[in-house]
Structure 1
Amino acid sequence: MIKTKFLTRTGIGSRKSILAGLAIAGAMGFSVSAPAIAQYRNEIRNDMSRCSSGSGPAVMVTVDGIKVSQGNLRIQTYRATSGEWLKKGKWLSRIDVPAKAGTMTFCLPVPAPGTYGVAVRHDLNGNGDTDIMSDGGAMSNNPSINIFNLGKPSYSKVGVPVGKSVKSIRVEMKYM
């Protein structure tokens, strides 16, 4: 309550003062970016129109070898850097859909041209947990995945350069 009264009386933290601060920073030539949290953890739907001609930047991912039509498929994009690839909470966008046996295609917009990695997981029983002995997985560039690297190849093996347009890739699901 005291903190709220202080902020209200002083104007610190008010929308008006924040906007004024951003305007001053811009006028002084400082770049002001969106809050870091807005960059990550974007749950999106599979909107294929975002991968149509003239769209981008985006990654169009075709997933081959989906074993069965049960459980859920999760597709996530990451920046292909040592600090972000497969790090908890560092995924940029995510699509969760019911799995369909065979091949499925997804459109994952990315924030800007750069190098990105894509991770796919088939949660066969739909429990939300990774069950190493039953769930399937795939990654951009189809790197070798085995029990010794715990399915986490280096960001340098999965990095896909994405320009201003749509980059198409194919990944092959692997199951134990």
Structure 2
Amino acid sequence: MLKLTGVAALCLTAAAVSFAAPDRAVAAPIGPHAESCENGGPAVIARVSGLKSHGGTVRVQLYAENEKTFLEKRQYLQRVDVPVKAGAMDICVPVPKPGRYALSVRHDVDGNGKTSRSDGGGFSGNPKVSLGDLIAKRKPDLHDVAFTVGSQPRVVPVTLRYVQGLSFKPIGA
């Protein structure tokens, strides 16, 4: 039997840990449905990054891949609101069954529940959205933002964008 000591054992242990958890750069999923992601059922982990401040709330809405209901009022399948925490946030959103879905995310900076110019937003797939798109209320192409969820939780990155001058872009971009 091979016996490892000192630095060799430490390096081997660190390597084993990095292979065991390849996609976990952020803390455990949060939100009222966190157990859906921890227990391994069909779910989405919305990995929200690019928050411009550490106040307010983040709202994640899950939509079916359906042009008629995507982004329509009260047509979401699931909505999760969580208070903002420092850094990127992994927010668990359960899905009804494996299939194709899309996410919209909004950062309500002041937490008042009303949309204002200071609030940010984003979508799964991180499509480019212009200030003109916002003003004209044009939706991103559903095919650009849809993703597939299987029988296990799926990590979906969303980078938030904010109005900056005459642009709608990620902070610092």
The one-character-per-residue Cα deviations of 1:137-160 (angstroms, maximum 9, x if unpaired) are 011010111122226212111101
State the alpha-carbon separation in 1 of the partners of residues 43 and 70 from structure 2. 17
Q: What TM-score, normalized by structure 1, do the two folds share?
A: 0.69
Query: How far did 1:80 drift?
Result: 1.9
Gaps (5+ residues) in structure 2?
1-30, 164-173
Query: Aligned pairs, how many?
Result: 130
Which consecutive aligned stretches of 4+ in structure 1 deviate over 2 angstroms post-superposition?
45-49
State the alpha-carbon separation in 2 of the partners of residues 48 and 126 from structure 1. 22
Query: How far did 1:112 drift?
Result: 1.1
State the alpha-carbon separation in 2 of the partners of residues 52 and 96 from structure 1. 18
Larger Rg: 1
Question: Does the Cα contact within 8 Å between 1:61 and 1:106 map onto a contact in 2?
Answer: yes
The one-character-per-residue Cα deviations of 1:54-83 (angstroms, maximum 9, x if unpaired) are x22111111111111111111110112101
* Partner SS for 1:115: strand
Residue 144 in structure 1 maps to residue 137 in structure 2: no
Aligned partner of 1:111 in structure 2 is 96
Aligned partner of 2:147 in structure 1 is 160
Letter in 1 for 2:41: G
Question: Does the Cα contact within 8 Å between 2:61 and 2:105 map onto a contact in 1?
Answer: yes
Residue 101 in structure 1 maps to residue 81 in structure 2: no
For the aligned residue pairs, the C-alpha RMSD in angstroms reads: 1.5
Query: How far did 1:128 drift?
Result: 1.4
Query: How far did 1:162 drift?
Result: 1.0
